[in-house]
Amino acid sequence: MSIDTPVGAAAAPGRLGDPALTIGTDPRADPRMVAVFRAFGIDGHGDDAPLGPDAPREQLLGFVEAAEVGFEGLFTALAEGSPPLEGVTHELITIPGEGGHDILLHVHRPEGAPGPLPCIYQVHGGGMVMLSTEGPLYRRWREELAAAGNVVVGVEYRNGGGVRGSHPFPAGLDDVAAGLRWVHAHLAELGGTHVVVTGDSGGANLSLAVALKARREGWVDEIAGVYAQCPYILGAWTDAPTELASLRENDRYWLNTQLFPLLAAVYDPEGANADDVTCWPYRAGTADVEGLPPHVVSVNELDPLRDEGLAYHRLLLRSGVSSVGKVNLGLCHVGELLFRGAMPDVYLAAVRDVSGFARSLG
């Protein structure tokens, strides 16, 4: 401490106070999370992106595809050692998308639970451009939500990039909306009472965006509530906006912020929809959100995306929308979903929170 520093004064958090800090050395980080990251050799600064958002689209798509393989490999490894989960059934339903393509809905139900039950419509993460409902991370998450007493439907929407091809905005959002409307129309046969939409990261973008889309199109009453976890909602930028300190405070904490403009370039080529709030909900104003159903916006202390989620929560409050804001201390981006084995208390608290929110709206 400098002799000029007042007694009791705290340094700026994270890399704002010490650029050398990593997620492995930041004193705020949950030590159990750090131990897992250290075992995988990813407790240092996140890797630089090998290209910029202005790279040719073919190269951007190749990068996203490689990143998807890497993330799915990590999630598979993290899932090892989780206790078996029994008492949950799985049904795969195929519905038609507006363009004539198939949309897969993964339906999970608790065996023997008296119904009808709240229906949780789950949208997987991946920056809107990668990952799948079928991966171990999201399948386990849906099963845990079902075991807590809910009908859970995971939607396999078209990603903006990745191993299943390139389908930029609004393809994924259109699929999420089509699946949601089908679920609402078939609630009785699914055994549900009402629909709550939830998603993490890019899935939180789509969860918030589908509510904005529903409001715009006049069917928002089909959504009872939205639970967004660690939302990625800003889009492309050249320099990190000064009002979003977490983009600098937590940069390279597992995720390098250089990644986000690349994902944005794949999802929204050439920024053609930069001001469309259903593409980038951070752009929304009061007129866009008034009349939306209740929300929960949950963010994590050590996530570069923390402050854009908080900004959206505060917009909802200013606009008269019921919104609960949460900050999970000591966690990285989507940390409440990642560490089922090492941090079961954190994971199960997230299950209880999403499930409890769904039940509260019945």
Q: Would you give per-residue pLDDT tens digits along the chain (362 residues)?
A: 344 444 444 689 999 999 999 999 999 999 999 999 999 999 999 999 999 999 999 999 999 999 999 999 999 999 987 888 999 999 999 999 988 999 999 999 999 888 899 999 999 999 999 999 999 999 999 999 999 999 999 999 999 999 999 999 999 999 999 999 999 999 999 999 999 999 999 999 999 999 999 999 999 999 999 999 999 999 988 888 999 999 999 999 999 999 999 999 999 999 999 999 999 999 999 999 999 999 999 999 999 999 999 999 999 999 999 999 999 999 999 999 999 999 999 999 999 999 999 999 98
Identify whether residues 150 and 199 lie together within a single domain: yes
**Cα dihedral 167/172/178/182 (nearest 10):** 120
pLDDT of residue 28: 98
Closest C-alpha among 90, 203, 184 to residue 145: 90
Closest C-alpha among 328, 330, 324, 329 to residue 350: 328
Identify whether residues 30 and 111 lie together within a single domain: no
Question: What percent of the chain lies above the pLDDT cut of 90?
Answer: 91
pLDDT one-digit tens code per residue, 42-72: 999 999 999 999 999 999 999 999 999 999 9
pLDDT one-digit tens code per residue, 291-343: 999 999 999 999 999 999 999 999 999 999 999 999 999 999 999 999 999 99
Q: How many of the other CB atoms lie within 10 Å of CB of 56?
A: 9
Q: Which domain holds residue 250?
A: 61-360
Identify whether residues 19 and 167 lie together within a single domain: no
Q: Is 109 helix (H, G, I), strand (E, B) or coil?
A: strand
Total domains in the fold of the chain: 2
Cα 257 from Cα 93, distance rounded (Å): 37
- CATH number reported for the structural domain that contains residue 351 in this entry: 3.40.50.1820
- pTM to 2 decimals? 0.96
Q: Is residue 8 part of a domain?
A: no
Burial (0-12, 13-18, 19+ Cβ within 10 Å), 95: middle
Sign of CA dihedral 269, 270, 276, 282: positive
